[in-house]
Amino acid sequence: MEDWRTFVDQHNTEQFKRVSARNKVNRAKLKGPACLGRRSMAVTRHQMAMERNLTSDAEIGRGDVYLRAHTSKDKVVQYPDLVQKLDELYSSNPASKMTGVDDALTQLVGSDSRGRMRGLGCSISKTGLKKSTPARSKLHNMAKEREGLAQEILEIKKSLIDIKSWVGMHQEAQSGQNLPSPPVAKSTQGSSPDTIYIGKKCELLGWGLRGVVARGQVHEVSPNAIVHCEPLAEGAFVVILTEIIHPDAPLWKEDGFASTLGEAGPGSLVQWGKQSMRFL
């Protein structure tokens, strides 16, 4: 109750009433008021990073945060012209999307006042932002590498779909006649003598006295080949599994997706040492 009386007394002083009246007039002049309510810019930026599955809030440009802060709950943007201009600037200069003292937002709405930066929350100044430039550049490069890796994984998945389709046709062809050739990736080592093994059927030999643990067909021999995001080991080939004899037999090299032939399953790509293969 004592705190409440203090609060009421403070809001009834002449000084507070003058400040309140002035702020009311200033708010009425705003063309695009902020729509965050009690949520801060820093929290908004973190939420955007979580929504996009990013590893750091620094990967969110302050231009995006600024637009989110000026978008109402019913998705009405307070600055539609600014959205269009930002998109045009991002397209012509992608680097301007990265937060900085001369980024896209600064170029469009002007320089920030002393001691604050739009879209970053309180206690963030130009000086602090400049000092963090090396770390933010590193994060930006990491994001680009992750995008490239995601594209490579997508291409690998497409190749696996083609391979599994071929394996299904292989299983249907009981006699093995009129069997179409498997989808074979182009080898970057065209002059290598190992290219003669591409497309050949083979038996995979296990450890110890197990003998033949699976059968398959050579898919790639290039040392630059990638299997489940892992580079091809020295002396190994990429093999398409067509028949598994011992499901519990370990892979010649684990790839992070499977550790045994049974876990890999027919139609999968695995690495297998040339010396542990018998060609048919």
pLDDT digits (tens, 9 = 90+) for 115-156: 667 777 666 666 666 666 555 565 556 666 777 777 778 778
Look at 143-147, 172-176, 272-276 and tell me which has the smallest mean pLDDT.
172-176
pTM confidence score = 0.37
32 pLDDT exceeds 70?
Answer: no
Residue ranges of the domains in the chain?
15-131, 170-174+182-279
Model confidence over 177-208: pLDDT tens digits?
A: 554 555 444 444 445 678 888 889 999 998 76
Calculate the alpha carbon distances from 144 to 49, 132, 140 in Å.
15, 19, 6
Q: How many CB atoms lie within 10 A of CB 277?
A: 20
d(CA 258, CA 180): 28
109 pLDDT exceeds 90?
Answer: no
d(CA 220, CA 269): 10
